[in-house]
């Protein structure tokens, strides 16, 4: 009786309140379980059909590679529960046929995974298919994931058109602001009095530019 009450409590706590309300007055755990099984259990073939249909419609879309792979893997694992690979029951099999069946299944998984990726991964997918023997599903996932991470790194390093445009505008603004500044000591534009070389001294590598004819009598001028 104690075990019955314990199992009954587990069942009622695992199902929704709406469903549990229909079993509140049943004292037998087995009776509750049989009622739920008769009402909600699906034949294996029906569930397998829905899983296969769902599997055929899954593509990467806006998901990351990891999210897409996880979604596929969940369905594959559930399908495996309904349809496990056959195994040798006589114990005398020496042809390794069952191992070959498992390899074919893994190859199908690899193809499905690659076919559902976005078109931007066509190149890496084609390279993987050309590898002989074809990599395992886990290795294929690792290669595609590495490709995704490399692209993300390149995206972070490469400047966007917006950032390049802002940088160009900033440089132009600095040049414009510098051109609008006029020194009150020498009268030249591009610097202020406190930074005028005629007051602070010319640097050793400073180059003097000769004045053009008709612009005064000085033999040379300086660009500061």
pLDDT greater at residue 154 or residue 132:
132
Q: What is the predicted pLDDT for the residue at 63?
A: 95
pTM: 0.55
Mean pLDDT over 103-124 rounds to 95
pLDDT higher than 50, residue 44: yes
Mean pLDDT over 31-48 rounds to 79
Q: How far is CA 80 from the centre of its chain?
A: 27
Comparing CA positions, the residue from 191, 174, 173 lying closest to residue 182 is: 191
pLDDT greater at residue 174 or residue 203:
203
Mean pLDDT over 196-213 rounds to 71
pLDDT higher than 60, residue 6: yes
Q: What is the predicted pLDDT for the residue at 216?
A: 46
Residue range 67-85, pLDDT digits in tens: 999 999 999 998 988 888 8
**What integer best gives the mean pLDDT of the chain?**
80
- Round to whole Å and give the CA distance between 216 and 224: 18
pLDDT higher than 70, residue 210: no
Instruction: List the beta strands (DSSP E) in 90-136.
Output: none
Backbone angles phi, psi at 34, to 5 degrees: -65, -40
- Round to whole Å and give the CA distance between 216 and 202: 22
Residue identified by tokens 């300086």 is 222
Residues 6+ apart with CB under 8 A from 137: 106, 109, 110, 113
Tokens encoding 131: 């590898």
């Amino acid at each position: 009786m104690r075990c019955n009450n314990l199992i009954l409590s587990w069942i009622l706590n695992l199902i929704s309140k709406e469903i549990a309300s229909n079993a509140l007055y049943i004292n037998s755990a087995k009776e509750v379980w049989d009622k739920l099984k008769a009402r909600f259990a699906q034949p294996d073939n029906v569930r397998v059909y829905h899983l296969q249909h769902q599997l055929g419609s899954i593509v990467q879309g806006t998901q990351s590679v990891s999210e897409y792979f996880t979604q596929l893997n969940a369905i594959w694992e559930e399908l495996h529960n309904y349809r496990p690979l056959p195994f040798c029951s006589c114990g005398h099999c020496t042809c390794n046929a069952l191992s070959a069946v498992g390899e074919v299944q893994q190859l199908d998984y690899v193809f499905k995974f690659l076919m559902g990726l976005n078109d931007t991964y066509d190149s890496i997918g084609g390279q993987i298919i050309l590898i002989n023997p074809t990599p395992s599903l886990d290795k294929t996932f690792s290669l595609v994931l590495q490709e995704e991470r490399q692209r993300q790194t390149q995206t972070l390093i490469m400047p966007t058109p917006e950032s390049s445009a802002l940088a160009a505008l900033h440089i132009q603004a600095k040049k414009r602001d510098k051109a609008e500044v006029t020194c009150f000591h020498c009268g030249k534009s591009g610097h202020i009095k406190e930074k005028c070389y005629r007051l602070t001294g010319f640097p050793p590598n400073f180059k003097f530019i000769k004045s053009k004819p008709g612009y005064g009598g000085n033999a040379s001028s300086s660009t500061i």
